[in-house]
A and B are shown apart, each in its own frame.
Chain A
Amino acid sequence: DSGVTQTPKHLITATGQRVTLRCSPRSGDLSVYWYQQSLDQGLQFLIQYYNGEERAKGNILERFSAQQFPDLHSELNLSSLELGDSALYFCASSLGGESPLHFGNGTRLTVT
């Protein structure tokens, strides 16, 4: 058990809808990362937060947004969903800096 909790485990929704994925980091970790894993793109970095502030941005679409709250949990919001957004979404956390990342079990999103 990595200590990183992601909910829900599975999500099935229709095109055009909006969903929210939630992540609780390991106790003591200040940094949260979001990754998307789709069949044709591999594991892609989306966004990083550190202690409530956005720190790094990757290939995150404008339809997607995230935030990290004062209690350090994070949410990834996906809107105007398309079929191509179907993927496994991972959250990871770390102490920050060059510390190793620890991944949650992911949320499997299916858009129909």
Chain B
Amino acid sequence: GIQVEQSPPDLILQEGANSTLRCNFSDSVNNLQWFHQNPWGQLINLFYIPSGTKQNGRLSATTVATERYSLLYISSSQTTDSGVYFCAVLLYYGGSQGNLIFGKGTKLSVKP
């Protein structure tokens, strides 16, 4: 099956620093999403980005589908950015059948 690999597995930043998280996937996909799981366990939708670049405030994401990777950029990090960032790709089989395959995540800790 499709493999989703995220790097780095852990990241510690000082508040105000920038970071780049990477997601590699082993096969062509129809949909890619980035999520932030906060310390309370909630999974927050960050981006739906099957290709191209999107920006939302201090966060931006780029997916290069032909090269099978996606990047999540966090600028001017804040302590509230702490948590685990997941990349997930959709396996769509047609006939409304599909599911998201998650990577193992990048655990981000932002220190004040």
Point out residues on B near A: beta carbons under 8 Å.
Answer: 30-31, 33, 35, 41-43, 45, 48, 50, 86, 88, 90, 92-93, 95-102, 104-105
Count how many chain A residues have C-beta atoms less than 8 Å from C-beta atoms of the other chain. 28
Please determine whether A101 and B33 come into contact, CB atoms closer than 8 angstroms.
Answer: yes
Question: Inside 8 A of A48's CB, which chain B residues have their CB?
Answer: 97-99
Q: How many A-B residue pairs have CB under 8 A?
A: 62
Q: Does A14 contact B (CB under 8 A)?
A: no
Are A2 and B98 interface neighbours, CB within 8 A? no
Report if A98 contacts B (CB, 8 A).
yes
CB–CB B43/A106 < 8 A: yes
A98 close to B33 (CB less than 8 A):
no
B45 in complex: contacting residue of A58, A96, A100, CB < 8 Å:
A100
User: How distant is the Cα of A100 from the Cα of B99 in the complex, in angstroms?
Assistant: 10
Asked if A43 meets B45 with Cβ closer than 8 Å, knowing A48-B97, A100-B33, the reply is no
